[in-house]
Amino acid sequence: MSVRVRIAPSPTGYLHVGTARAALYNWLFARGRNGQFILRSDDTDSERNALEYHTDIIESLRWLGLDWDEGIEIGGPHAPYQQSLRYDRYRDVAMDLLERGLAYYSFASSEQLDEFRKEAQAAGKTPAYDGRFKLAPEEAADRIAAGESAPIRMAVPRPGATTFHDVVRDEVTFDHAQVDDFVILRSDGSPTYHLASTVDDVDFEITHVVRGEDILSSTPKHIVLTKAMGAIPPTYGHLALLMGPDGKKLSKRHGHTALSAYRQAGILPEAMVNYLALLGWSPGDDETIVSLADMIDRFDLDEVTKNPTIFDNDKLEWMNGVYIRKLTVTDFVARVTPLVESHLGRQLDGREAAQLAAIAPQVQERAKRLAEVADQVSFIFGDVVYDETSWEKVMTKDEAAIVLPAALSAVATLEEWTTESIENALRNMLTETELSARKGLQPIRVAISGSTVSPPLFESIEVLGRDEAVSRLESAIARVGSQ
């Protein structure tokens, strides 16, 4: 039987990086086994669903390069792959279970349940509802017939236990004393996550359910349900959760949890996928940089680490830098142009595009995120804006007053306007003024770029063009003279 795996996000939030990692592992497993990867939408929470999230999930997965063989957007033999469109099916299953005595209408009030749970906890037991308030089937049927509404609960076999083999954790056992008679169909007739998800896994012939550890303890419920449906449970695998720097479950207070936020920050999909893969899996051989294609060959589910992993932004950015440097200059420019334009709030004209292309190699080798590139090159477009700290640091020194006019005259009359000619002229100037490059060039840098930190100076001057460079030197001289 060929492998069929799925990722089933619910559109109640942006695609979470943890979900993205689970998607990646599922995808790698499917691709490595010649199986199918399915994208399902677990949208049974009508209160919190939003189209915006639905779209974000699809776009984020595509951005990562994880394509699916069946699912929302593309359809497939089991369509629709959206739970909100399959309510009839879930109800049928629930009714069938009810008729076979495997589930029942529950009239236990929430007060009763609360009290039961409180007492159980006080007695040192798990507060899992054991069905003790269950009515005789006839009585329950009468009350429903009389127009009362009630949720349907699964009658979990008691006493009993569920043991299963988890691909990442080996054997796991839960005593049914820990599993409550869970609701499968709400009193309004809508399915709960447990029902919808399990029915879909059965119907879609899912062979491996690989998901977060947060639902490890719900797995017995899914197995009980699956068996009640007369199906063979899939193989389960529970991935350890992603943590924030404080060791707690990764959440918004740690920074970004939405994959799209990283995309916006200028993280490359290649880097993201590589980093995510290494969060809980190692290709061995002391390797760190691994392509998606390479991972397919080397990945296996049972090699996945069991321990919770802390999301390390520093390492992600380092890795992103590695991938940025691997880009061809053309590709780099193509990826960075939209960011520069949005930073500027306008389109680049032809001349500016050429300027960007010219300076690109200089910034490419020092960037960690694409978004920061926009900031680094912005001095080229529009007027100089002096960073006051930078100004304070170098323009108030004596060298500034000497070097700036010297640089202006060295550069203003150059016959050739190339990086080399500019560098020669300025180095001669340094010799004449007897200043070190360190001291003598910084004022020029600030005059040209507005900051002590900029792309390499000679290239920057060249890209800026003679007129602009001259005018910036003049402006700086004027300001220095007036202080």
- Between residue 33 and residue 72, which ones bind RNA under the rule CB under 7 A? 42, 44-45, 48
> Which residue pairs, CB below 8 angstroms and at least 24 apart, start in 91-99?
91/185, 91/189, 91/191, 93/195, 93/199, 93/229, 94/152, 94/184, 94/185, 94/191, 94/195, 97/152, 97/154, 97/184, 97/228, 97/229, 98/152
Asked if 294 is part of the footprint of RNA (rule: CB under 7 A), the reply reads: no
CA distance 208 to 167: 9
CA contacts within 13 A on the Cβ side of 325: 11
Nearer to RNA by Cβ, of 325 and 346: the residue is 325
> Minimal CA–CA distance to 108: which of 127, 139, 140, 133?
133
Nearer to RNA, 100 or 325 (CB): 325
Q: What angle do CA 14, 275, 215 make, to 5 degrees?
A: 50
Helices 419-433 and 437-449 pack at an angle, to 10 degrees, of 130
Asked if 466 interacts with RNA (CB under 7 A), we say no
Taking the least distance from each CB to RNA, the nearer of 189 and 481 is 189
Size of the site for RNA (CB under 7 A): 85
Window 261-290: residues binding RNA (CB under 7 A): 278-280, 282, 284, 286, 288
Site for RNA in 347-376 (CB under 7 A): 365-368
What is the closest distance, in whole angstroms, from the C-beta atom of residue 363 to RNA in the complex?
8
CB of 212 to RNA, least distance (A): 8
β-strands 170-175, 161-166 pairing: antiparallel
Closest CB to RNA among 337 and 442? 442
Instruction: Classify residue 353 as exposed, middle or buried by CB count within 10 Å of its CB (0-12, 13-18, 19+).
Output: middle
Residue 341, CA distances (Å) to 123, 327, 347, 362, 451 in order: 64, 20, 5, 19, 21
Q: Least distance in Å: CB of 310 to RNA?
A: 4
Q: Does residue 243 interact with RNA by CB under 7 A?
A: yes
Where in 144-203 is the site for RNA (CB under 7 A)?
150-151, 169-170, 172-175, 178, 180, 182-183, 186-188, 192-194, 197
Q: Which residue's CB is nearer to RNA, number 19 or number 207? A: 19
Per DSSP, which regions of 322-431 are E strands? none
- Please state the closest distance from residue 136 (CB atom) to RNA, in A: 19
The answer to the question of residue 252 lying near RNA (CB under 7 A) is no
Q: Compute the distance between CA of residue 152 and CA of residue 107 in angstroms, rounded to an integer.
A: 9
For 116-150, letters b (16+ CB in 10 Å) and e give bbeebeeeeeebbbbbeebbeeeebeeeeeeeeeb
According to DSSP, the β-strands at 235-239 and 242-243 are unpaired
Among 101, 247, 345, 350, binds RNA (CB under 7 A): 247
Q: Which of 118, 125, 248, 252 is catalytic?
A: 252
Cα distances (angstroms) measured from residue 22 to each of 104, 210, 237, 304, 388: 34, 7, 10, 11, 46
Least Cβ distance, residue 467 to RNA (angstroms): 21
Q: For the CB of residue 328, give the shortest distance to RNA in the complex, in Å.
A: 16
Tokens of 483: 């202080």
Q: Is 252 a catalytic site residue?
A: yes
Interface residues for RNA in 88-147 (CB under 7 A)?
Answer: 110, 113, 117, 121, 124-128
Q: Which helix (H) or strand (E) holds 170?
A: strand 170-175
Interacting stretch for RNA, rule CB under 7 A, among 29-37, 246-254, 260-268, 345-353?
A: 246-254
Residue 259 token pair:
């994959």
Q: Least distance (Å) from RNA to the CB of residue 61?
A: 16
Maximal C-alpha separation, the chain: 106
Mark the segment that binds RNA (CB under 7 A) among 23-31, 131-139, 338-346, 439-447.
439-447
Q: Using CB under 7 A as the criterion, what x/- string covers residues 376-395 for binding RNA?
A: --------------------
Select from 7, 10, 270, 377 the one that contacts RNA (CB under 7 A): 10
- Binding RNA (rule: CB under 7 A), the pick from 79, 329, 354, 453 is 453
Min separation Cβ 109 and RNA, Å: 8
Among 80, 405, 456, 465, binds RNA (CB under 7 A): 456
Interacting positions 12-31 with RNA (CB under 7 A):
12
Q: Taking contact as CB under 7 A, which single stretch among the options 53-61, 66-74, 305-313, 344-352 is the one that binds RNA?
A: 305-313
Q: Contact, 251 vs 244, CB < 8 A?
A: yes
Q: How far is it, in rounded angstroms, from Cα 138 to Cα 152?
A: 15
| Contact call for residue 423 and RNA (CB under 7 A) | yes
> Catalytic positions, please?
252
